[in-house]
Chain A
Amino acid sequence: MKTLADLGPEEQGCIHSVTGTDGIAQRLAELGFTSGQTVQVIRFAPLGDPMQIRIRGFSLALRRHEAKRVRLAEQNKNEE
């Protein structure tokens, strides 16, 4: 399944779910990574990691490692 880490700059996707039940999954969910939400990649840091994304109207930095936890709904495939 496609994840947030697979998106390029300026691309957006629709969240399917966040994998896991640990603290990272919980924190992502609390910040608003809930199913159905739109998430957009703004840019990657100069050294390639972390990435800056936009969700629910605010801007967040996270690493690709965590972005892989965010699974995206398939609908995005049609746009490509």
Chain B
Amino acid sequence: MDVETPVASSAPTTATPGAASYRVAVIGNPNTGKTTLFNALTGLSQHTGNYPGVTVESALGEFRQNGVRFLAVDLPGVYSLAPRAPDEMVAVSVLLGSGDGAVTPDVVLCVVDATNLDRNLYLATQIMDIGLPCVIALTMLDLAEKRGMDIDIAALEKRVGVRVVPVQAAKRRGINQLRQTLCDMLGAAVSPPRPVVFPEAFTQEAQSLARQLTQAHPTARFPHFLVERLLIDTGGMVEQDLTRQHGAHVRASVHAARQRLADSAVQLPQMEVNSRYTWIAQVVADARHSSSGLSRGRTDWSELIDSLVTHKVWGLVIFLAVMSVTFQSIFSWALPLMDSIDTIFSALGSWVGSTLPEGPLQSLLVDGLIGGVGAVVVFVPQIALLFGLIAILEDSGYMARAAFLMDRVMAGFGLSGRSFIPLLSSFACAIPGIMAARTIDNQRDRLATILIAPLMSCSARLPVYVLLISAFIPAQTVWGIFGLQGLTLFCMYCLGLLVAPPIAWILKRTLLSGEAVPFLMELPPFKLPAWRVVLFRMYDRSMAFLRRAGSIILATTILVWALSYYPNQDLVSDEFETRRATATEAELALLESEVAGVRLRESYLGQAGRAIEPFVQPLGWDWKIGIATLASFPAREVIIAALGTIYNLGAGQDEESVELRQAMRVERWSDGRPVYTPVVAISIMVFFALCCQCGATLATIKRETNSWGYPLLTFVYMTSLAYLGALAVYQIGSRTIG
């Protein structure tokens, strides 16, 4: 796509003629302010895309200093470069330049949180072991001072052996100096020292293992860092990857080497951790002086909030309140904007309609293009708002507490609190939810989360619910306080939530069975969310949604339009032409819709619809519903426009359209019974709630799992579930309520 071309084109020095371009990889622990720093460095040039050699998307951006152009990649937040999760493997691949067409970064920017020097320096020492030029950006110095820690930056720099630049990204302090330091590193281009020394026995085993591997596979590259990881991480991703690539003898050699080390009293993996933390303890002793020690005298407000939001009673009350405010606001706050977008597209449609002569071109533009695009753009306010709210919850630190509260519940069906955030995001759209599942370190948990994420009621299902509920569910009050319509909507949202746990449970016991998964999650201090992070997330996700709207949904809309417009036989018109000549004004309108009805029935779409009618009749559907549903498999929100086309109202219909509701209400079977009853409406809604009618979701699952099997499985299980669900609703409902 557009973002890939400038990045993936070629070697750094020839990326743009005239200006040299260097690559900076930004890496650090989660919750270090890394994203805020990345934003401050790259500004508005930031976008999501693929870094060369890496299949998953990362944030990319550019900046200039002294005429030097830098291309920066924001690597996932990791605690260690011992890769056990896909996120960590991405970081290692980028730093080693090991993917196809990949180049190693020219300089690595390691973000270190001053309040957590020990744990952050752990990652820093691993990065220095790789041997790329490296700079440390020290964040959260103000917070460290508040906690009574005094950090001597000169001493830290001297002990660690790389440049340390203090930054306050939110206030834009230290950014220029950081850029300048990155520039300075390019001229020198020296490897940082390797301060942490491993036992001699280990170093020798690693060297001999590297020799063995190079002899067996002369064309392959085995950087010393990778070989060390292979040796240290028992059952880690490096061991798995290299064994898969080069054969089982890799595992055999590694096991033999580990055995020899165990015999000489070198314990893996503890050897690495002990060596690093021993060194870190010495550095920290020199560079950090605490006035009040680690036992902080005064309570800070973050801990007060923490004790409230994780409280046995108040914690759960606040959790429910936060969730309901989030969902209320995306429905009520987004409405005015959605209405004005709608008005603009309707006005555009009628203007084009009145300007162009009647015919295929007018129909294509008004019904196909403007109607189709409008039906999608209308969701942008909701998407932007939901992502804004999720970004606020994440950046403030609340999301981690929500996962803490929910972990026990998620554990009940074999997942962890980490799955909570991806699943919650899926209520806006399954695509970012599936992408958010990358933060789950266990592969089986991650896959289970990805497979159930599309069951969450995404925002594209909302218009289907709104249309059918407002047209066919009576506006009664139940138990004095609940509106029946609102209650139905609530039930539709709960349906996915109720179905997902058993599916996850089954998956974790069959396809994805294995040993229990650890749940280790940092609970960062509470802070005010950085508005740049929030705004960028809103912008980025809305644009991603619009790109999708501009491609797949638009293409589908035009296809549906074409299939319902053609073959557009003349014989239909001929027959009616004579009757039209003698018709009165009132008869003329009736005649027009009759013509349109006949035309639709004879169109390709109509022919296909009648072919599938036997399959959809048990669900209580006629062929028109069947065909509208079939047309919305690439993207479920297409059904509104498809129904608009089918009922001759033009595709520019939305879920608020009075004409569309009216047209559906008067729709009759040949024996005069109404097609749409409340039971049929619920049958359709249940189908849409459970079905995977989203090409983009399937494409995302393919990309994230790197396999066709998982998207296929998702499609098959969800479609079967949807059909059975709708069948049960209609067969039971029509016999009991009628």
Contacts and interface: CB of A to CB of B under 8 A. Distances in A.
Given A23-B236, A58-B116, A59-B522, A45 B84 contact: no
B119 A58 contact: yes
Contacts of A21: 234, 267-270
A6 interface: no
Given A21-B268, A29-B269, A30-B79, A61 B404 contact: yes
Contacts of A62: 518-521
Interface stretch (B50-58, B130-138, B405-413): B405-413
A51 B311 CA distance: 12
B400 interface: yes
Contacts of A58: 115-116, 119, 522, 524
A46 B522 contact: no
14 contacts: A21-B269, A23-B236, A26-B269, A27-B518, A27-B520, A32-B277, A45-B310, A50-B408, A52-B404, A56-B119, A59-B524, A59-B525, A61-B523, A65-B518
Contacts of B493: none
A72 B310 CA distance: 26
Contact of B233 (A24, A26, A31, A48): A26
A63 B411 contact: yes
Contacts of B518: 23-24, 27, 62-63, 65-66
Nearest to A28: B520
Interface in B147-174: 147
A59 B523 CA distance: 5
Nearest to B262: A21
**Contact size range, A:** 20 to 34
B307 A43 contact: yes
Contact of A63 (B235, B307, B519): B519
Given A21-B268, A62-B519, A56 B118 contact: yes
Interface in B303-345: 306-307, 310-313, 315-316
Given A60-B520, A61-B404, A22 B234 contact: yes
A25 B267 CA distance: 12
Interface in B394-432: 400, 403-405, 407-409, 411, 417
Contacts of A59: 306, 522-525
Nearest to B519: A63
Of the candidates B236, B518, B521, the one having the most CB atoms from chain A within 10 angstroms of its own CB is B518
Nearest to A27: B520
A30 B516 CA distance: 20
Contacts of B311: 46
Contact of A31 (B79, B147, B307): B79
Interface residues of B, number: 49
Interface of A is mostly: mixed
Nearest to A24: B518
A43 B307 CA distance: 9
Interface string B266-282: 01111001100100000
B273 A45 contact: no
Nearest to A25: B269
A45 B404 contact: yes
B115 A46 contact: no
Given A43-B310, A50-B417, A61-B520, A31 B315 contact: no
Given A26-B82, A59-B523, A34 B400 contact: no
Nearest to A65: B516
B382 interface: no
B273 A29 contact: yes
Contacts of A1: none
A27 to B, nearest CB: 6
A56 B522 CA distance: 12
B220 interface: no
Closest 3 CB pairs of A and B: A47-B408, A29-B273, A59-B523
A27 B411 CA distance: 20
Contact of B407 (A29, A43, A50, A60): A50
B122 interface: yes
Given A58-B115, A59-B524, 9 more contacts: A22-B235, A30-B273, A43-B310, A49-B408, A57-B116, A57-B118, A57-B147, A58-B116, A61-B404
Given A26-B273, A47-B408, A63-B411, A52 B523 contact: yes
Given A26-B273, A46-B316, A50-B408, A32 B519 contact: no
A43 B119 CA distance: 22
A39 to B, nearest CB: 12
Contacts of A47: 405, 408-409
Contact of B405 (A24, A32, A45, A60): A45
